[in-house]
A and B are shown apart, each in its own frame.
Chain A
Amino acid sequence: MDTHDSHAHAAPQGFIRRWIFSLDHKVIGMQYTTLGIVAVFVGMFLSLLMRIHLVWPGAVLPFLGEIKPETYLQLVTMHGTIMVFFVLTTAPQAGFGNYALPIQIGAPDMAFPVLNMLSFWTTFLAFVAAVAAFFAIGGAPLHGWTGYAPLSALQSSGPGEGLGADLWAISIALFCIGSLMGALNFITTTLDMRAKGMSLMRMPLTCWAWFLTAILGLLAFGVLLAACIILLMDRNLGTSFFIPLGTINGTVTGHNGGSPLLWQHLFWFFGHPEVYIAILPSMGIVSQVLSVFSRKPVFSYKTIVYSMLTIVVLSFTVWGHHMFVSGMSPYSAYGFSITTMAITVPSALLTFCWIATLWRGKIRFTTPALFGIGFVSLFVSGGVTGPFLAQPALDIPLHDTYFVTGHFHLIMGVASMFGILAGFYYWFPKAVGRMMNETMGKLHFWFTFVGAYAIFIPMHYLGLAGHPRRYSQLTEVGYLHDLIPVQKFITIAAFVTLSGQLIFLGNLIWSLVKGKKAADNPWEATTVEWTTATPPPHDNFGGLTPVVVNGPYEYSVPGATRDYVMQTDPAVAHATGD
């Protein structure tokens, strides 16, 4: 496996080659992560505006004025789009994966550095197109991040459905292209670039997670790309893939024969794997972080690997559970329901393994450990509402209510976010050579952990009471008026929680400049990235090629001189996974 020489490129000189159009996977990883941070603050800001409008509809905001009902739906659309694509997909996979995968497997770079740079800049263009939608005539689209046709396919179906919706579709198509290139790179790198001795079953679980996520991405984003291209054709070239005979605002559309359900099938064939694309990297990060900070080998490494693999396979068979009441065949609902229920089994096993990893450990409550623990708690809380929604019969009262909003925000939004934050606090010292402030980190954790629950648990109650999603005003339906106090509570909780994120931002900036200098292995971890200098040199290992002899989680090995054995240390008897 000595193909490394061809990938090692000389360290670039000059600011542009080094920091902008860089081929270095570490820089590209940081670029993706920075994009994710910018996007998450934009997305949070949008959600705050939504929350304010919902409970104080007439409020006049400084600089922005009053939020109108159509603006609310534009905020809904862009909040979802930005968070799902540019945060949850970008940061943990493309960001951390790019940064850490090659170093963890002992490679000098990704397999295709130029393709890697191209993936980032394509994704960046996608983000620019998404943000540009706000400034288009009519504003951003109001059709939600799921973009159900014909609402999304007809130019005149509402404000923002003109140029704004075109930019939205172009943005997602570009994002798909960027992600497909990234997925190819990740798969090739994992299969071909591992150092001597780094067998698949010695890879850190993060690498497994990135590898499996890349496979998901390769199979899912192609379908979404096709769907977006067809959508653009329906919108601009007069085709009718998604549009049947009908009217809009009383005018016949001129389209005929298309199927609105086709869009939903294509979208959710991508969309359900997408939620695993968002959370699998976090699963890997959490497995890693819990093992490091409980000073114990991860509980049943192979169960975690095979559970994640099972999730990957099953995730392509469950998309119909988004469509129980869509008008598709009610018989197929049984099949989708069983596969959806089946996916709770590997998910429960993962939870079991994480809790068992902590059991009998010697837990160090560092900031990354706290976010890892928070992930487990949130994953359980968001997970237990899954089996309600997976039943077609119960989906009838619950579908498209706040119960769903609460469910997926807890598990796919906040839990994934906690995995991302765990990873961020964990790798920050390696990437920039300085530690983050622990006190501010812990404060940030408590604000976010308590806050996230205060925001999303009450949404489940709203859903039970029949509160539909995506209502910009609660004035038209009598029983919704009675639920406004709960909505107010959520808005206040959101305001406090989002303010707490400024602690993170402050910590980040302060630590970049003034943080304590980090040692090469500040967490006393075992994986290969902690054997090299901090921050790592351009080729990662300063001309050396690591040779791996141990499994990734050899903590507290009896008889060893210290409580951790590096993957590159002389072999130990209990090598994990062998």
Chain B
Amino acid sequence: MGLVLLLFLVLLSVSSLYFFVAKTWWFQVGASTAAAGLDHQFVNTGIAMGIAFLVAQIGLGIILWKYRDKGGDSRAGYHPGHSWADFWVILGAACLFMALDIGVDLLGGHLWAAERFRPAQANATVVEVNAMQFAWYFRYPGPDGKFGATKPELEDASAGGESAIGLDTRDPASKDDFVSGVMYVPIDREVDVILRAHDVIHSFGVPAMRVKQDAVPGLAIHTHFTPTRLGDFDVVCSQLCGLGHYKMHGIVRVVTQDDFDKWQAAREADRQ
């Protein structure tokens, strides 16, 4: 039985690590400036934890095989429950682990700071992401750079567009606001995302951009990212929001600055 356990633990460790190393299933190809750093941090952590995993599983397996009951009168090696020698070994192990953990944590600290402590740059494209069961509405402030007021009692999802988020047309700032079903953003320029939820909690997850942030009713939460590749990228709701959670899908469409300007102008013209 000891040998079977050893063989199984070896097979388990090698096969499960293989798929991490071979990247058979891996993060989507990064499409933002944050991706490289996060992926690198994941790999660093993976190396540390992979070694710990391998040593523990195979060490366990070898001990099980080597110290199996082989019959006979011999007794197990007595080891007193308390000894100072053990204490020093354990203290050493604790310090090692503490250093490893805190080292790994500190290595990744600046990535979080870049994502969350720093506000978006002044020239960022501002988009207000509105989440409600089970759709995404992306609002742009228009030439005035200001978002108009919204009111819950004005919401009318069936009318779509600006009405869906309850835009108050009496507010002068709302005159040039427009709402899109697809999130257009220009490439290589930071996007300042303002997240709002109208009913329950949703989460704005864009795997390719390495972006995830909950949208919480009653709060306007900022996050930001800088797209580096042209194309369409999936937005997947990443917080259980009800029956249609699985179909709360959106698109981030990264275009050139020119195309973005043209698109914005066309939407502005529709609005007037």
Minimum CB distance partner of B13 in chain A:
A381
Q: Is the CB of A358 within 8 A of B243?
A: no
- Which residue of chain B has the shortest Cβ distance to A263 in the bound complex? B201
Give the distance in Å from the alpha carbon of A10 to the alpha carbon of B112 in the complex.
63
Q: B79 near A360 (CB under 8 angstroms)?
A: yes
| B98–A360 CB distance below 8 A | no
Q: How far is the CA of A377 from the CA of B13 in the complex (A)?
A: 10
| A231 adjacent to chain B (CB < 8 Å) | no
Q: How far is the CA of A75 from the CA of B203 in the complex (A)?
A: 22
Does A246 make an interface contact (CB < 8 A)? yes
In the complex, whether A38 has a CB less than 8 A from a CB of chain B is: no
C-alpha gap A271/B175 in the complex (Å) = 46
Contact between chains at A330 and B60 (CB < 8 Å): no
Q: A73-B240, A150-B201, A300-B81 are in contact. Are A245 and B69 (CB under 8 A)?
A: no
B155 contact set on A, CB distance < 8 A: 247, 250
Q: Are B247 and A473 in contact (CB under 8 A)?
A: yes
Tell me, rounded to whole Å, the shortest Cβ–Cβ distance linking B152 to chain A: 5
Contact B28 A465 (CB under 8 A): yes
**Residue pair A295, B75 in contact (C-beta under 8 Å):** yes
Report if A363-B64 is in contact (Cβ < 8 Å); known contacts: A260-B217, A385-B49.
Answer: yes
A551 contacts partner chain B, Cβ-Cβ < 8 Å: yes
Inter-chain contacts of A360 with B (CB < 8 A): 67, 76-77, 79
* A510 interface residue per 8 A CB criterion: no
Q: Report A426-468 CB contacts with B as 1/0, cut-off 8 Å.
A: 0000000000000000100000011001000100011011101
Chain A residue numbers with a CB within 8 Å of B108 are 391-394
Q: Hey, which chain B residues are within 8 Å of A390, CB to CB? A: 105
Residues of B within 8 A of A359 (CB): 63, 67
Minimal beta-carbon separation of B18 from chain A (angstroms):
11
- Cβ-defined contact, B217 with A471, below 8 A: no
Stretch of B19-27, B140-148, B177-185, B256-264 contacting A (4+ beta carbons < 8 Å): B19-27
Interchain nearest-CB distance for B195 vs A (Å):
8
Complex Cα spacing A387 to B157, Å: 42
Report A521-578 residues with CB < 8 Å from chain B CB: 551, 553, 555-558, 563, 574, 576-577
Interface flag for A45 (CB, 8 Å): no
CB distance from A21 to the nearest CB of B (A): 40
- Closest chain-B Cβ to A549's Cβ sits at a distance in Å of 15
Chain B positions within 8 Å of A, measured between CB atoms, are 1-2, 5, 8-9, 12, 16, 19-20, 24-28, 37-38, 41-42, 45-46, 48-50, 52-53, 56-57, 59-60, 63-64, 67-70, 74-83, 86-87, 90, 93-94, 97-98, 101-102, 104-105, 108-109, 111-112, 115-117, 132-133, 152-153, 155-158, 166, 197-201, 203, 205, 207, 210-214, 216-219, 221, 234, 236-247, 249
Binding site for B on A (CB under 8 A): 69-70, 73, 142-144, 148, 150-151, 154, 157-159, 243-250, 252, 258-261, 294-303, 325-327, 330-331, 333-334, 337-338, 341-342, 344-345, 348-349, 351-353, 355, 358-365, 370, 373, 376-377, 380-381, 384-385, 387-388, 390-394, 396-397, 399-401, 442, 449-450, 453, 457, 461-462, 464-466, 468-474, 476-479, 483, 486, 551, 553, 555-558, 563, 574, 576-577
